Amino acid sequence: MTRRTLELELNRVEGDLTFQVELEDGRVADARCIGTTYRGFEQIMLGRTPMDALVITPRICGICSTAHLYAAVRALEDAWDIAPPANAVHIRNVSLMAEIIQSDLRQTFLFFTPDFCHARYAASPRFDAIGAAFTPFKGWMHLETLRYSRRVIEIVALFAGQWPHSSHMMPGGVTAPATARRIVDGQSLIAELTRWVERRILGGDLGAWLEIAHADEFDNWVLERPEAALTLLSQAARFAGLHTMGFGSPHLLSFGAFALPEPMVGRSHWLASGVRFGGDAPVVPLDPSAIGEQVRYSWFKPHPGGKHPFEGETVPDYQPASERYSWIKAPRYGGEVMQTGPLADLVVDGDPLVVDLYRREGGSAWLRQLARLRRMTQLLLFLRRTLDQLATRIGEPHRIPVPPDAKRDGQGAGMLTAARGALGHWIGIRDGVFDRYQVITPTAWNASPRDSDGIRGHWEESLIGVPVQDPEDPLEIGHVIRSHDPCLACAVHCLDSGRQIRFGV
Amino acid sequence: MRLLWMQAGACGGDTLSLLCADNPTLEQLIEEGLELLWHPSLSVAPPRYLEWLIDAITTGRTPLDILCVEGSLIAGPRNTGLWDSLRDRGKKDAIAELAEAATYVLAVGTCAAYGGIHAAPPNPADCVGMQFDKASPGGLLPAAWRSRSGFPVINLAGCPTHPNTIARFLAFLLRGLPVTLDELQRPADFFSTTVHQGCSRNEYHEYDVEDTILGDRGCLFFNLGCQGPLTLATCNQELWNGRSSKTRVGVPCFGCTSPDFPRDTSLFLTEKIGHIPLRLPIGVQRANYMAYKDLAHEATPARLIRREMEP
C-alpha cells in the first residue's frame, strides 16, 4: 500500500480553495477542503442601518451579487412583515434568473470544460472536436460563451442598472418599473440567447429538449446531435469517467426560488423548495429550523453542536496548528451533511429527466454538470414567461410605500436558490441597527469541513475513492470539485453574527 | 504584454466586470497580444504553475509587464496576512514581491486601490489597499513606491470597476497611449467625469425636484444618499453592460470609486445642514448653491413636479 499526501490549490473556481488529499494506491482515501481566506463581513454589518445590507451584502460575491441582494431584501421584508407587489416579484425574478443563466454558462464553458482539452484525453474519438469547441480563447464554444454571457447579463442591467453589484431591490419592491421598453429589450435578448442555446448547446428546439423525460431519450438526443456543445460536454465527461465518481452526500437540499405572486401554468414557484434524504426517499418540505452550523473543525471560537443562524456566533479563532482547518463552518440540516446546487434543485423540483438519470447512475460529477445545463435551459423558458407576464401588467405598481414605523426591530430570514444552490441570510435588528447578520452560502453547505461528529463535508466526501492517475497533475480532482461549481468568494467569509473583536498587539 | 492577475481578499467582481467589457472585449485584447500568464478564474494550467511562475517572475527569469491586483490586501492577523494565505504565507507578501518585478501595477477595484468594503469599520481583517489606506497615501506599498515604469500603483477604482474602464486601460498600455493619473492615482481619462454627468435624472436635479422614497423618478441627491455629483466615474457617460446605470434605474450612486467607499453613515440617507446636503457637488460653494437651488425651485415646470419625465 502506498500512501501519499497532496496539497492542492484549485483555480477556475471563484475564490481561494485548497485541498489536502490523501492518496492510497492511486485513489483518494481522505480529503480536507480548506477555505483559506477570512474577510470578516459580519463585523462590518453589525451596527449598520438595515438598508445598508442592500449595498454591502451583494459585494460578498461578484458572480452572484443579485442573489445576495434578493436574500437580503427578503430578510428585511420578513423582519418588517412587508409583501412586495406582484410586478416587483417578477422583476426580482427576472434579475436573478438572468444572473443564474450567466453563472451557469460561465461555470460550464469557461471553468469546467477547458480540462477536457488536456492531452491525457487524446485517445477520445471526439478529442479534436472537443478541443475545437472548448479550448480557452480559441475554441468556438469558449469564445461564444464569453460573448453570450455578456448578452444575458444585459437583462439584469435593464432592471438593475448594472451588473455586478446593484441595489435595485428594496423592502416593498424594486426601484424601477418594468416599462414596455425594458420588457421589449429583455424579450429580444432572451430570444437571441435562446436561438444561440438551441443552435450551439442543444442542437435542437428548446421546447423539445425540455420535454425529454427519460434517460434513454437523453442518450438518443446527444447521439443524434454530435456537434452540439451538450453532446461534446457529455461525451468528454463520460470519457473521463465522471459518471462513475464524485457522488458525495446523498442528501439533497433546495431552498426553492422564483416564488410566483400568483400561480402560473399550475405552479407557485419556478423551482420548488424541499429536502430529500438519500436514495429513493420522497421529497419532504423544507424546515428552516433544522439548520445548524457547527465549528469543531473551523477557525472560530468553539461551541458544542450546531447553532441555528438566528443564534449563531462568529468569533475568529485562527489556530493553524490545531485539528481545525478551515474558515468555512459546517452547516448541517437535521444534523446531516447536505449537497445543494442544480442537481439538488432539479431532483427536489422533480424534473423528470434529471430524476431518471439520478435513478440510473446516481448523482455523479457528470450528472451534476448536466443538471446545471438543464437548469439553465429551464430558466430561459421561465425568464421568457416572466417577461411575457410583465408585459400584460405594465403600469402596475413596482413598489409599495413602507411606513416608517414598519422598520422596527426584530428578526428575519431570506432563503432562496442562487446559482450554486441554497442561500440564506438571517438577520437581527435592535435599536434600528443590525445586531446579527448571518449568511449561509451554497458553497458553505457543499465545501464544509468535518462536523462535530467528524463527518466529512460534501465535497470532501465526493472525492473519496476518486482515482488519481498522475499525482503531479490530479486532473480528476479538478473535474469533481469543479462539477460542484465552487464559489469560495462566497463560502469563506460568511456573514455571521458575533461580537466585535479586535486583533493585533 | 504579459499579465498576471492576483486575487487577494476579493469577491471576484472585478474579474466578472472584465468579462463583461464590450469595448474592447477581453478576447479582443488577447488577440491583440495580451498574454494572460495567470488568471485564477481563466487559466488552464494547474495552480502549481502559479508557484513556479511567481518564483520565475520574482527571480527575474520571466518578465512581467502588468500585475493586476483584485481585492483588499489582508494583513490580519497581526500583520501576518495569514487570513489570506498562499502556501503558508500571507498572499500580500507574494503580491508585494511581484509588484517589484512588474512594469505596471494595477489595483483593479476599490478594494485593491484603497481597502474598500473589507476595510469598512471595524476593518476586521486589517485590510488596506495597494498604495493607500482609504484616502491616506501608503498601503501595502509605501507612498513613495514606484514600479519599473516609474508609475506608482495605478488605481482603477470602482466596486466593481466599470467593465470598459478595465479593458480600455489595458488597451492603453498595449497600444502605448499616454497615461496621466489624478491625486488618487486613478487614470484621468476615466476619472474626469462625475457620475452626475449624463444621469438621466439631471433635469430633476436642475430644478430641485428631489425624491424622498426609493422607486420614483426624481433626483436622489438631496435625500437618498446619491453621491453622483461628487463621484468621478464614467457610469453615466458610458453605460453599464451597454444598457444602463444605477441612477437611471433609481439606485443612488454610492460613490464606489472614492477612497471612503463605503461611507460610515447610512448609505441611503443624505446628511444635511438645514435642507441642503452636507457634501455638495465637487467644487461648489454652499451660499451659491443655496441661492441657485432656491431660484431653480421657483422655476420648476409642472411636468417635473408631477414627475412626468421618464429618467
pLDDT value at residue B218: 98
pLDDT digits (tens, 9 = 90+) for A386-439: 999 999 999 999 999 998 888 999 999 999 999 999 999 999 999 999 999 999
Judge if B145 and B42 occupy the same domain.
yes
What percent of chain A shows pLDDT beyond 90?
79
**B168 and B51 in one domain?**
yes
Q: Provide the domain count of chain B.
A: 2
B70 → chain A, closest CA residue: A15
Q: In sequence order, what are the beta bridge partners of A275?
A: A253, A284
Which range marks the domain in which residue B14 is found? 2-187
How much is the ipTM here? 0.98
Chain A CB within 8 Å of residue B26 CB: yes
Same domain, B126 and B275: no
Residues within 8 A of B (CB atoms), A 147-206 only: 147, 149-150, 153-154, 156-168, 170, 172-176, 179, 185
**Same domain, yes or no: B169 and B278:** no
Task: List the 94-113 stretch of A: residues with Cβ below 8 A of B.
Answer: 106, 110-111
Residue range A34-44: mean pLDDT, rounded: 80
Q: pLDDT grade, residue A14 (50/70/90)? A: low
B173 and B231 share one domain: no
pLDDT class of A503 with cuts at 50, 70, 90: very low
- B1 has a chain A CB within 8 A of its CB: no
pLDDT, residue A499, reads 30
Percent of chain B's residues with pLDDT above 70: 100
**Residue B142: C-alpha distances to residues A35, A125, A207, A265, A436 (Å):** 30, 56, 60, 62, 37
Tell me: do B88 and B159 sit in the same domain. Answer: yes
Question: What residue segments make up the domains of chain A, in order of their start?
Answer: 42-457
Q: Are residues B87 and B149 in the same domain?
A: yes
Q: What DSSP letter does each residue of A111-171 carry, written as one string?
A: IIGGGGGSGGGTTSTTHHHHHHHHSTTTSHHHHHHHHHHHHHHHHHHHHHSSSSS---EET
From A486, which residue of chain B is nearest by alpha-carbon distance? B41
We report the CATH number of the domain holding residue B215 as 4.10.480.10
Domain end position, chosen among B187, B207, B235:
B187
Q: What is the CATH number of the domain that holds B27?
A: 3.40.50.700
pLDDT average, residue stretch B168-195: 98
Burial of A495 (0-12, 13-18, 19+ CB in 10 A): buried
Nearest by CB: A150 against B20, B74, B160: B20
> Measuring CA to CA, which residue among B49, B25, B20 is closest to residue B37?
B49
Same domain, B273 and B140: no
Q: Is the pLDDT of residue A316 over 90?
A: no
**What's the Cα-to-Cα distance from A414 to each of A45, A74, A100, A401, A494, rounded to whole Å?**
16, 5, 18, 20, 15
Helix (H, G, I), strand (E, B) or coil at B198: coil
Percent of all residues in chain A with a pLDDT value above 70, rounded to a whole number: 95
Residues B73, B163 share a domain:
yes
Q: Which of B11, B14, B267 sits opposite A52 (nearest CB)?
A: B267
pLDDT category at B242 given cuts 50, 70, 90 is very high
CA distance A295 to B215: 42
Band the pLDDT of A15: cuts 50, 70, 90. Answer: low
Residue A489 is predicted with a pLDDT of 58
Cβ of A117 and B44 within 8 Å? yes
Residue A497 has pLDDT above 90, yes or no: no
Task: For residue A168, give the amino acid letter.
Answer: H
Could you say which of B27, B72, B160 has the minimum Cβ distance to residue A146?
B27
* Nearest CB partner across the interface for B118, out of A39, A115, A137: A39
Q: Which of A6, A37, A63 to mutate to test the interface with B (most CBs of B within 10 A)?
A: A37
Average the pLDDT over B224-238 and give the result.
98
Which are the contacts of B151, defined by CB distance < 8 A and separation ≥ 6?
A: B104, B105, B179, B181
User: With 50 as the cut, is the pLDDT of residue A495 above it?
Assistant: no
Residues A366 and A321: their CA atoms lie apart, in Å, by 36
Among B116, B159, B113, which residue's Cα sits nearest to residue B137? B113
Q: How confident is the model at residue B233 (pLDDT cuts 50, 70, 90)?
A: very high
- Give chain A positions within 8 Å (CB) of B254: 55, 167
pLDDT of A351-396, one tens digit each?
Answer: 999 999 999 999 999 999 999 999 999 999 999 999 999 999 999 9
Mean pLDDT of A37-43: 80
- What is the edge-to-edge ordering of all strands in the sheet holding A274-277? A283-284, A274-277, A251-254, A339-340
Of the residues B153, B187, B221, the one at which a domain ends: B187
Percent of chain B with pLDDT strictly greater than 90:
92
- The burial of A505, by beta-carbon neighbours within 10 Å (0-12 exposed, 13-18 middle, 19 or more buried), is given as exposed
Whether the predicted pLDDT of A498 surpasses 80: no
Does A273 score more than 70 pLDDT? yes
Residues B24, B90, single domain; the answer is yes
- Where is average pLDDT lowest: A258-262, A427-431, B53-57, B268-272? A258-262
B39 plus B175 within the same structural domain: yes
Q: Are A160 and A166 in contact (CB under 8 A)?
A: yes
User: Which residues of chain B are within 8 Å of residue A488 when distances are taken between CB atoms?
Assistant: none
- Looking at the DSSP bridge assignments, the partners of residue A428 are A411, A436
Decide if pLDDT at B8 tops 80.
yes
* Per-residue pLDDT at A297: 92
* Interface touch B117/A159, C-beta < 8 Å: no
Task: State yes or no: pLDDT of A500 exceeds 70.
Answer: no
| B27 closest CB neighbour out of A10, A143, A158 | A143
Last residue of a domain, one of B187, B210, B244: B187
pLDDT, residue B245, reads: 98
Confidence of residue A505 (pLDDT cuts 50, 70, 90): very low
pLDDT, tens digit, 9 for 90 and up, residues B245-283 = 999 999 999 999 999 999 999 999 999 999 999 999 999
> Is the omega angle on the peptide bond into residue B142 within 30 degrees of 0, that is, cis?
no
**From residue B101, how far is each of A248, B94, B111, B146, B249 by CA, in Å?**
43, 11, 22, 11, 43
- Domain spanning A42-457, CATH class: mainly alpha
Mark which residues 5-24 of B lie under 8 Å from A by CB: 7, 9-17, 19-20, 22
Closest CA to B128 of B153, B92, B152, B157: B92
pTM: 0.96
pLDDT at A413: 98
A222 touches chain B (CB under 8 A): no
Same-domain status, B166 and B219: no
Q: E strands of chain B, at which residues? A: 2-7, 35-38, 64-70, 73-74, 85-86, 89-90, 102-108, 127-128, 132-133, 136-137, 154-156, 272-273, 276-277
| pLDDT tens digits, one per residue of B66-102 | 999 999 999 998 999 988 888 788 999 999 999 999 9
End-to-end CA distance of chain A: 48
* pLDDT tier, A490 (very low <50, low <70, confident <90, very high otherwise): low
Report chain A residues whose CB lies below 8 A from the CB of B245: 161-162
Contacts of B59 (CB under 8 A, 6+ apart): none
Tell me what pLDDT residue B52 has.
Answer: 92
For residue A325, give Cα distances in angstroms to A328, A407, A481, A498: 9, 40, 18, 20
